[in-house]
């Protein structure tokens, strides 16, 4: 039986120069979004495609939760070698946090029944770094986060992985399948998708999946299904920094003066 | 009175009929081998993909004939070798035509109609002309041998920059043997021809119709007199004649038979190549048909038949090798070797009636005959090779087509990958926001019109560097000031302008080029203007030569022609002739690509500069190294960069004050190179626009004085 790898990807937004916050103060004005495939997902997709190219029967399915604009990122994935692409969306999913997204993905995983799920360690825009692990929790599957090396031969029931821990320590472990892994940058070198291949990928279909197709209701997603809610988004006041120069004695004197100034004491 | 009919040469005199038959048999055999070999070559070309030649057959034929008769392409930058080739070419051609007339009379006219013309005055003139032709041939050959054997110009060394001494195809010594064999065989044919002429005179000295007219073949006569002086008798001469006759005849026939199999075939392939010359080969790259599965060349059979023929036309003259800036600075690329590798590859894989497995047709790699990606990425698409090749080999389309394949496979420098992704995302190579494209205009006292909103006379296409690079932004501001003072009605596309795509295309990212070109064309079509003017030669080239293929037909000028116009018409007045001693660097895309050599020079004259051209100028200008996307790929450390090589060339000009450029990328490359070569303080690099600014009085005070900019 073919090995199926599901790669969960996200279309992230980078902010254009001099952006503005939306009128309701809860997000950046969409006019200033520059959309692209999340950088981490580039690596997790590459890892899946590499397994496929190494031989054996492997199917790589990319799945994303997002509105129509996200098709562009899916096409990029198809151009890079994914076999199928699924986009899940419903208006009600607007405002979902990583918990709610994980719930949607879990439903999709149950339908697709893959052997492996790859997610990026985090997304470059919201940086929750929790979707993959939340997904594993919902599925109750073995999981590993921040994977930076992966060894697996299609059809095997186990994979050997290496994880990055704090302080430069690495951990080697084996993990039973099916499993959820969150993939770290640098695990491979993602390939370049030429614009021509992306254009050609436009001919491949993108499967559209809605809320009810997954057996979910509006209360499972969006703000209702989220554990957190954005109250306000704002640009913090710029801090101040100053380089103190001069001889050691001069530097000490200057520092003392600054401290006194902040304390409000007279010099 | 001697009967003119008897003043001739009796063919096969004293030959046994069987000998004549044998000779004819060998002759037909030689022609048969020639035809067979020719067919093998043609069959090889037929494996190439389709190609429709540009222009009518007549016009192409005329162009080829003109090139051959004037030897224009051969004498350029190498008068001696070109001249010697001319002697060989015309000598050989006359001898060939002469010999053919004998055949026409002896084997066609006489047997069919009984007519003869090869006697009397015609014969005598014929003898004289052929003797002179033989001398020309010999003289040319002697020079070439001297050149190869003693002068040994570096361009004739076949040692390759893209291989190491342990590689089997490192120095291609086989080619050298072939070169010498070719020269010697011609020498032997020519010398034995003369000796044959002489021994015949000695042999037939008793016949007045022969001996009395001996000086009509002066070389033969001189030899004959020498032979008689050393006591050669008529009988002995007759004997030598029959032996030598066969020797001379057999070598000549072998020469003919070997044409299709050796370098001699350049007689035909080079002529055909010249006939198929595409004058815009480098300027306008081929589109990838939408239906084509993958872009670019992966296999030898992806080359079109014309390109396969070009491979065979190369005479290894080394001119492209010598002109190539990549090769000159130690990069693993020689355009000659790319051509020769592919030729060897084609000869190996396409020689038989059936094609080998596709895997064996792959031209990418490091095996003999293959071209490595390091080689392909070293090219700066500067066109120096295409421009100088005497036989119209077009290297750039082949290199770019091969790069297209590399791009599709993602085989490129990570920084280049990043840049391409950035351009795809933001429309510029700086990764700046689209909105900021026009930000540089904010420093101007008078705003520039938005050509998307109101009609203008000139649409100024600014390009990435002049829009985003801080140093070049100053130049853009200066140019805007000049246009405003000259009351030129102009506008910008602002954030609708994107990278023009010239270099993206030359990198081989055709899909991205398509996207950029289409977007720009659309923006241009939505604006109202008469002419485009651009400060960027790269944009100039692609808009002028390539946008047409994507539906964008616009009139476009490089800023140098517009400034010249403004200065000549008096709309800008020179108030302070500069008197600087300057040199001018011809940007590849303005000069070689689009022949814009004169406008910048005339401007320099108008503003009172003394121009001292570098040795490599105009069509021989030396690339700054930024072309073909190389500006986005880091150069290896520790080796000389092309821009440094160029600055060192300029530095020898005595009293040089300003190194003038007219391309934003040049400004960046050369300002850097002046510093890294330790020439800072000796002379400065300046945009021509800045010099014009300095020479033309400004009614409006500029924000920053130009002086300051040049030092900054
Ligand atoms: S285009 Fe320039 S860099 Fe490229 S091979 Fe030709 S001469 Fe060399
Ligand atoms: S490609 Fe042209 S210029 Fe280069 S070596 Fe061959 S004939 Fe000479």
SS3 of B123-173: the string is HHHHHHHHHHHHHHHHHHHHHHHHHHHHHCCHHHCCCCCCCCCCCCCCCCH
pLDDT at A258 over 80: yes
pTM for the predicted model, two decimal places: 0.91
Q: Which is nearest to A8 in space by CA: A126, A102, A115?
A: A102
Predicted local confidence at residue B637, as pLDDT: 86
pLDDT at B35 over 50: yes
Domain ranges (residues) in chain A: 3-220
Predicted local confidence at residue A266, as pLDDT: 56
The tens digit of pLDDT for each residue in B70-100 reads: 999 999 999 999 999 999 999 999 999 999 9
The tens digit of pLDDT for each residue in B431-470 reads: 998 889 999 999 999 999 999 999 999 999 999 999 999 9
Reduce the secondary structure of B652-712 to three states and give it as a string: CCCCCCEEEECCHHHHHHHHHHHHHCCCCCCCEEEEHHHHHHHHECCCCCCCCCHHHHHHC
Residue in this structure with the two tokens 């079509």, named with its chain if needed: B525
CA atoms within 13 A on the CB side of B661: 27
pLDDT at B709 over 80: no
Q: Which of A110-119, A226-235, B172-181, B276-285 has the lowest mean pLDDT?
A: A226-235
Residues 6+ apart with CB under 8 A from B54: B278
Contact: B509, A194; criterion CB under 8 Å = yes
Lookup: tokens for A200: 């050609």
Strands A170-176 and A143-151: unpaired
Determine contact: A171 vs chain B, CB below 8 A. Answer: no
Please, where in chain B does CATH 1.20.950.20 lie? 4-45+55-152+171-273
What is the Å distance from ligand 2's center to B324 Cα?
11
- Contact predicate B428/B462, CB 8 Å: no
CATH for the B4-45+55-152+171-273 domain, from 3.60.20.10, 1.10.10.60, 3.30.710.10, 1.20.950.20: 1.20.950.20
**Integer Cα distance of B281 and B309 in angstroms:** 15
CA distance B411 to chain A (A): 8
pLDDT at A13 over 70: yes
**Integer Cα distance of B611 and B583 in angstroms:** 5
The tens digit of pLDDT for each residue in B478-520 reads: 999 999 999 999 999 999 999 999 999 999 999 999 999 999 9
Q: Compute the average pLDDT of residues B231-251.
A: 94
CATH for the A3-220 domain, from 3.40.50.970, 3.40.630.10, 3.40.50.620, 3.40.190.10: 3.40.50.620
The band of B53, judged by pLDDT with boundaries at 50, 70 and 90, is confident
ipTM exceeding 0.85, yes/no: no
pLDDT at B180 over 90: yes
Rg (CA), chain A: 23
Lookup: tokens for B151: 């002068």
Q: Compute the average pLDDT of residues A156-181.
A: 93
Identify the top-confidence range among B157-171, B225-239, B695-709: B225-239
- Phi, then psi, of B461 in degrees rounded to 5: -90, 115
Residue in this structure with the two tokens 């063919």, named with its chain if needed: B11
The tens digit of pLDDT for each residue in A89-124 reads: 999 999 899 999 999 999 999 999 999 999 999 999
The tens digit of pLDDT for each residue in B675-707 reads: 999 999 999 999 999 999 999 976 544 444 444
| Average pLDDT over all residues of chain B | 94
Please, where in chain B does CATH 1.10.1060.10 lie? 305-412
Q: Compute the average pLDDT of residues B113-133.
A: 93
Q: Which atom of ligand 2 is nearest to the CA of B388?
A: 3
pLDDT at A161 over 50: yes
- For a mutational test of ligand 1's pocket, the pick from B155, B333, B506, i.e. the residue with the most ligand atoms closer than 8 A to its C-beta, is B333
Lookup: tokens for B239: 């004997």
Return the DSSP state at A185. T
Determine contact: A39 vs chain B, CB below 8 A. Answer: no
- Contact predicate A7/A86, CB 8 Å: no
The tens digit of pLDDT for each residue in B636-671 reads: 888 899 999 999 999 999 999 999 999 999 999 999
Residues 436-495 of B with CB under 8 A from A: 436
Q: Compute the average pLDDT of residues B525-545.
A: 97
The band of A237, judged by pLDDT with boundaries at 50, 70 and 90, is confident
The band of A16, judged by pLDDT with boundaries at 50, 70 and 90, is confident
Which helix H or strand E contains B282, and what residues bound it?
none
Q: Which of A190, A194, A200 to mutate to test the interface with B (most CBs of B within 10 A)?
A: A194
Which residues have any ligand 2 atom within 6 Å of their CB?
A: B 314-321, 335-336, 339, 388-391, 393
Which helix H or strand E contains B25, and what residues bound it?
helix B17-46
The band of A265, judged by pLDDT with boundaries at 50, 70 and 90, is low
CATH number of B305-412: 1.10.1060.10
Residue in this structure with the two tokens 């977007």, named with its chain if needed: B519
pLDDT at A267 over 80: no
Determine contact: B295 vs chain A, CB below 8 A. Answer: yes
**Integer Cα distance of B528 and B533 in angstroms:** 14
Predicted local confidence at residue B699, as pLDDT: 56
Q: Which of A256-260, B218-222, B560-564 has the lowest mean pLDDT?
A: A256-260
Predicted local confidence at residue A260, as pLDDT: 86
**Integer Cα distance of A178 and B183 in angstroms:** 74
- Angle (CA) B493-B498-B502 rounded to 5° is 120
CA nearest to A195 within chain B:
B511
CA distance B408 to chain A (A): 6
Give chain A positions within 8 Å (CB) of B510: 194-196
pLDDT at A240 over 80: no
Q: Compute the average pLDDT of residues B615-626.
A: 94
Lookup: tokens for A68: 């129509």
**Integer Cα distance of B308 and B297 in angstroms:** 13
Contact: B414, A189; criterion CB under 8 Å = yes
Predicted local confidence at residue A261, as pLDDT: 83
Predicted local confidence at residue B543, as pLDDT: 98
Q: Which is nearest to A114 in space by CA: A105, A102, A103, A104?
A: A105
Max Cα distance, chain A (Å): 80
**Integer Cα distance of B300 and B366 in angstroms:** 15
> Hey, which residues does A64 pair with through a beta bridge?
A9, A87
**Integer Cα distance of B556 and B572 in angstroms:** 21
pLDDT at B710 over 70: no
Q: Which of B424, B442, B508, B518 to mutate to test the interface with A (most CBs of A within 10 A)?
A: B424
pLDDT at B1 over 80: no
């Amino acid at each position: 039986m073919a090995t199926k790898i599901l790669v969960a990807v996200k279309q992230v937004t980078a902010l254009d120069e001099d952006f503005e916050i939306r009128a309701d103060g809860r997000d950046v004005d969409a006019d200033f979004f520059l959309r692209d495939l999340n950088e981490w997902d580039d690596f997790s997709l590459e890892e899946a495609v590499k397994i496929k190219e190494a031989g054996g029967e492997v199917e790589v399915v990319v799945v994303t939760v997002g509105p129509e604009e996200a098709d562009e990122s899916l096409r990029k994935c198809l151009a890079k070698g994914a076999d199928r692409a699924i986009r899940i969306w419903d208006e009600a999913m607007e405002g979902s946090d990583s918990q709610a997204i994980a719930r949607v993905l879990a439903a999709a995983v149950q339908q697709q029944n893959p052997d492996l799920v790859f997610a990026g360690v985090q997304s470059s825009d919201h940086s929750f770094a929790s979707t993959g692990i939340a997904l594993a929790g919902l599925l109750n599957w073995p999981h590993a986060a921040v994977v930076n090396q992966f060894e697996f031969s299609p059809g095997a029931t186990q994979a050997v992985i290496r994880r990055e821990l704090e302080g430069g320590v690495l951990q080697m472990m084996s993990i039973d399948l099916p499993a959820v892994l969150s993939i770290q940058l640098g695990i491979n070198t993602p390939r370049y998708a030429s614009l021509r291949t992306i254009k050609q990928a436009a001919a491949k279909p993108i499967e559209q999946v809605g809320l009810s197709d997954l057996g979910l209701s509006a209360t499972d997603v969006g703000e209702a299904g989220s554990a957190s809610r954005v109250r306000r988004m704002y640009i913090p006041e710029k801090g101040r920094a100053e380089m103190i120069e001069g001889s050691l004695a001069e530097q000490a004197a200057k520092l003392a003066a600054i401290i006194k100034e902040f304390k409000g004491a007279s010099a | 009175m001697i009967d003119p009919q008897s003043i001739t040469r009796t063919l096969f005199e004293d030959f046994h009929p069987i000998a004549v038959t044998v000779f004819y048999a060998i002759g037909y055999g030689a022609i048969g081998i020639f035809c067979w070999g020719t067919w093998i070559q043609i069959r090889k070309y037929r494996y190439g993909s389709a190609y429709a030649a540009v222009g009518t057959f007549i016009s192409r034929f005329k162009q080829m004939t003109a090139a051959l008769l004037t030897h224009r392409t051969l004498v350029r930058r190498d008068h001696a070798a070109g001249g010697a080739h001319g002697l060989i070419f015309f000598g050989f051609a006359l001898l060939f035509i002469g010999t053919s007339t004998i055949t026409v009379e002896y084997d066609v006219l006489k047997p069919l109609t009984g007519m003869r013309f090869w006697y009397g005055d015609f014969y005598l003139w014929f003898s004289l002309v052929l003797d002179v032709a033989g001398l020309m041939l010999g003289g040319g050959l002697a020079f070439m041998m001297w050149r190869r054997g003693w002068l040994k110009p570096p361009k004739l060394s076949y040692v390759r920059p893209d291989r190491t001494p342990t590689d089997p195809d490192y120095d291609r010594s086989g080619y050298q043997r072939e070169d010498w064999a070719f020269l010697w065989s011609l020498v032997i044919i020519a010398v034995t021809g003369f000796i044959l002429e002489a021994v015949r005179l000695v042999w037939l000295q008793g016949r007045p119709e022969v001996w009395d007219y001996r000086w009509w073949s002066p070389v033969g006569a001189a030899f004959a007199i020498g032979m008689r002086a050393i006591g050669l008798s008529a009988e002995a001469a007759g004997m030598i004649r029959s032996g030598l006759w066969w020797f001379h005849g057999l070598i000549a026939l072998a020469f003919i038979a070997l044409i299709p199999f050796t370098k001699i075939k350049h007689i035909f392939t080079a002529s055909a190549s010249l006939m198929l010359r595409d004058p815009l080969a480098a300027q306008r790259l081929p589109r990838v048909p939408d239906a084509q599965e993958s872009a670019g060349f992966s296999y030898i059979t992806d080359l079109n038949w014309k390109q396969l023929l070009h491979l065979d036309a190369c005479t290894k003259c080394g001119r492209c090798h010598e002109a190539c800036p990549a090769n000159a600075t130690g990069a693993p690329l020689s355009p000659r070797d790319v051509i020769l590798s592919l030729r060897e590859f084609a000869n190996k894989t396409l020689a038989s009636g059936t094609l080998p497995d596709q895997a064996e047709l792959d031209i990418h790699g490091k095996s003999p005959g293959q071209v490595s990606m390091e080689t392909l990425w070293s090219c700066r698409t500067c066109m120096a090779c295409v421009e100088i090749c005497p036989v119209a080999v077009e290297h750039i389309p082949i290199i770019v087509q091969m790069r297209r394949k590399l791009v599709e496979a993602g085989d490129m420098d990570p920084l280049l990958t990043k840049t391409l992704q950035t351009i795809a995302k933001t429309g510029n190579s700086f990764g700046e926001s689209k909105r900021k494209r026009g930000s540089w205009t904010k420093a101007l006292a008078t705003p520039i019109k938005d050509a998307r909103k109101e009609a203008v006379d000139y649409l100024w296409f600014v390009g990435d560097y002049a829009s985003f690079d801080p140093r070049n932004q100053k130049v853009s501001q200066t140019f805007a000031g000049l246009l405003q003072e000259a009351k030129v009605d102009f506008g910008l596309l602002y954030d609708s302008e994107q990278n023009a795509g010239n270099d993206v295309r030359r990198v081989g990212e055709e899909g991205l080029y398509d996207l950029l070109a289409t977007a720009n064309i659309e923006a241009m079509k939505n604006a109202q203007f008469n002419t485009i003017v651009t400060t960027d030669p790269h944009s100039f080239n692609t808009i002028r030569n390539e946008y047409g293929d994507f539906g964008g037909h616009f009139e476009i000028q490089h800023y140098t022609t517009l400034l010249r116009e403004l200065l000549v018409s008096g709309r800008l007045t020179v108030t302070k002739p500069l008197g600087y001693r300057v040199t001018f660097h011809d940007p590849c895309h303005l000069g070689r690509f689009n022949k814009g050599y004169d406008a910048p020079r005339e401007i320099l004259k108008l503003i009172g500069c003394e121009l001292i051209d570098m040795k490599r100028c105009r069509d021989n200008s030396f690339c700054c190294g930024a072309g073909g996307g190389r500006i986005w790929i880091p150069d290896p450390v520790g080796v000389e960069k092309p821009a440094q090589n160029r600055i060192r060339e300029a530095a020898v000009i005595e009293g040089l004050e300003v190194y003038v450029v007219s391309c934003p990328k040049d400004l960046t490359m050369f300002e850097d190179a002046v510093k890294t070569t330790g020439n800072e303080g000796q002379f400065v690099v300046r945009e021509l626009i800045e010099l014009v600014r300095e020479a033309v009085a400004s009614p409006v005070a500029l924000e920053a004085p130009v002086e300051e900019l040049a030092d900054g």
